[in-house]
A and B are shown apart, each in its own frame.
Chain A
Amino acid sequence: MANRSVWSDNRFWQRSAAWVTGFAAILLIWLTFDTSMQISMGSDEDLKNGVTKRVPGPTVINYKITYEMDAKRGHEVPVIGEKELFFGRDDWSEEEAGALLHLGKLGSQAKNCMNCHTLLGNGAYYAPDLTKAWLDPAWGPEGSLQAMTGKPTKEEAMAEFLQHPSQYPTHERMMPNLGITAEEAKGLVAFLKHMSSIDTNGFPRNFGKIKGAVHGK
């Protein structure tokens, strides 16, 4: 072997592979620590003091949430506003709200929501994205979905729909009955409201801002 070259030396490439992999892994782990801190759930204290968290605490259900353009960041962000009733109360304690969110998150997995819908944009594409479903104008006071259920509030309308989805078809493609109880439905709505308050860097873009863009106007 007269012409030896580093470039055709397996040991060299083996070491390079080990170093590159090690370096990337260490960087990922380091970033994971930082990200974990930034996405840990906030507390009731934070909400009361107006401290913005990327993932607010469960008591965010006591507040009104909107999705507003942030000029500095150049996209919409969830804004937590004044107090708002949620199933008739705006004083859900940290424990109560936490328990409700726990029930809802468990419910979302036990009913396999993610294999029809997307949550934070991940999942299946057979049904609408749920990331900001709580903020969908259709569930609002003048919205068609709220009207369809005949319920006076957004949360009650959503809970009613979740318990009897196939009684309220909006399209030929329907949501099936998944045996969701009244309590589970409450939890699921809390989970959806909480999810809508997560700072998703502006996804989805223009959510609920464009009315009738396709049909006329």
Chain B
Amino acid sequence: MQINAYPEIVMENVIKKFDDINAVDNVSLRIARGEMFGLLGPNGAGKTTIVNILCGLIKPTSGFVTVGGYSLPKNLEDLKRIIGVCLQETTVYPYLNCEENIELFGGLHAMKKDLFEIRKRLLLTKLGLYNVSRKKVEKYSGGMKRRLSLILALIHDPQIIFLDEPTIGMDPQSRRSVWDFIKELKNENKTIFLTTHYMEEAETLCDRVGIVDFGKLIAVDTPKNLILKNGVNNLEEVFIKLAGRRIRDGV
């Protein structure tokens, strides 16, 4: 993994203000093509805001952003063709069945019919929804909806993938299989930007991790280097050491 290869995601001095708070406070970051980057941080640290800026959902107050060579917000339309986004909130249409949800997103990406069918089958199988694909999503469990949400993000085989807490609310089995799946995506040389609260998985899977707190990026490095530099045993200890023990949300 060459970190200094062609940068697929670039943020320079990005600031996002909501009323009086800086949700993102002067963040600069470069992520290489094919890199798997994990963004860690306490609740309310600004992770989701960063993801939303990178996938063009919100405009930064100031700063410079390019994704996949497209600068934002100018090339928004082009950007949306090459990214796949799984938002933190599970967003699936309850009144459609699983396949209809996938068909909608295949349609929104104007996919060719045969490619669509191949991808649909593949993803349904990999995420364990193949046998329940005709079921109304209303009747899905939280974990099943979450996995469907992942399929919707990936149906068009995007090069750049944003996953905001992809395994939130999943049991250990599903979580494990989803992480295995994400690992496969990495092997396909996809650029993956994810946020998570699962330190162990971030430690074993991510090429690099960034720790964000109060909107500031306080550390970026490989998990190994971070552990070494801070003289601790694992990433969770790094996290506690840097971000503290206090509950941050709503402060």
Chain B binds chain A = no
Q: Which residues of A contact B (CB under 8 A)?
A: none
